[in-house]
Amino acid sequence: MDAGMGLLAAAAAVRRLRPDADLVLSSDPDGMPWGPRTPDDITAHALATAEAAAARRPEALIVACNTASVHALPALRARLEPDLPVIGTVPAIKPAASGGGPVAVWATPATTGSPYQRGLIEEFAHGLAVTEVPCPGLSDAVENADEAAIAHAVAAAAKRTPDDARAIVLGCTHYELVAERIRAAVQRPRMPPLVLHGSAGAVAAQTLRRIGEPPAPGAPAEGTVTVLLSGRAAPLPAPALTYAEGRLLQAVSPTR
């Protein structure tokens, strides 16, 4: 679940690990964007979006959204666990910091500078040079597959990223859909290749561990994809198919 198409990265990661898994993608286009909402409002929308997915009786719920994980994870777990395991998304600051600094953390303006993100930096990257980079408009541009707006937002954030950054944390699940465009914008001449750290792969692996299902990437590609848009069954939105993750989900298991 996510407010929008940020869930594609985690869904595609699960699909690569378990091609036979049935997936339910629940988003909230009627309520987007969640970022400017109050924490209580975000929680209400997240609960509604999660419950739409839970009605399909899944084995686990991935909260593929940093904003919802920050504000609504306790409420989601209180409502749905232990019957339905809830796996949140945390910016990959810990693995990024393990390689040393300097590190840049790209995130939405609402997350940048938040006590939650500052706490992760203090816990996992204490003593390293860490720059928080707000990326206004980037998640909305990705949601709408607006190429011009994506290019503008990525270029603006790249200018705010220190030239010596060795790793970039993609602190919004939408950003993983344009990771290579981010890498191309930030990579400096004569510098070692940048390492980008998203959360989708780790979240997918953790989900399979929670439900006791080991990865089986060679399994037959028989899994289905059910799409819920603010609770309504629908095909994948057209903008999703502009991204490799959306095309993977559509090609491997056409949505229903």
pLDDT of residue 256: 52
The residue among 26, 235, 33, 22 whose CA lies nearest residue 143 is: 33
Check if the beta carbon of residue 50 is closer than 8 Å to that of residue 63.
Answer: yes
* Active-site pick, 172, 178, 208, 249: 172
Active site residue 172: yes
At 136, the pLDDT band (50, 70, 90 cuts) reads very high
Report the C-alpha gap between 135 and 132 in whole angstroms. 10
pLDDT digit string, tens, across residues 151-169: 999 999 999 999 999 999 9
Check if the beta carbon of residue 170 is closer than 8 Å to that of residue 92.
Answer: yes
pLDDT digit string, tens, across residues 177-191: 999 999 999 988 877
**Within a 10 A sphere around the Cβ of 98, how many other Cβ atoms?**
12
DSSP-H helix ranges across the chain: 7-17, 39-54, 66-80, 93-98, 115-124, 138-143, 147-159, 179-186, 200-210, 244-252
Q: What is the mean pLDDT of the segment spanning 128-141? A: 94
Kindly report, as residue ranges, where domains of CATH 3.40.50.1860 are found in the chain.
7-89+201-252, 93-198
pLDDT of residue 254: 52
pLDDT digit string, tens, across residues 219-237: 777 889 999 999 999 999 9
> CATH classification of 93-198 is 3.40.50.1860, yes or no?
yes
pLDDT digit string, tens, across residues 6-44: 999 999 999 999 999 999 999 999 988 887 788 899 999
- What's the topology of domain 7-89+201-252? Rossmann fold (3.40.50)
Active site residue 135: no
Q: Which amino acid is at 142?
A: V
Check if the beta carbon of residue 161 is closer than 8 Å to that of residue 138.
Answer: no
* Active-site pick, 65, 75, 177, 249: 65
Report the C-alpha gap between 158 and 171 in whole angstroms. 14
Q: pTM for this one?
A: 0.92
Report the C-alpha gap between 66 and 111 in whole angstroms. 8
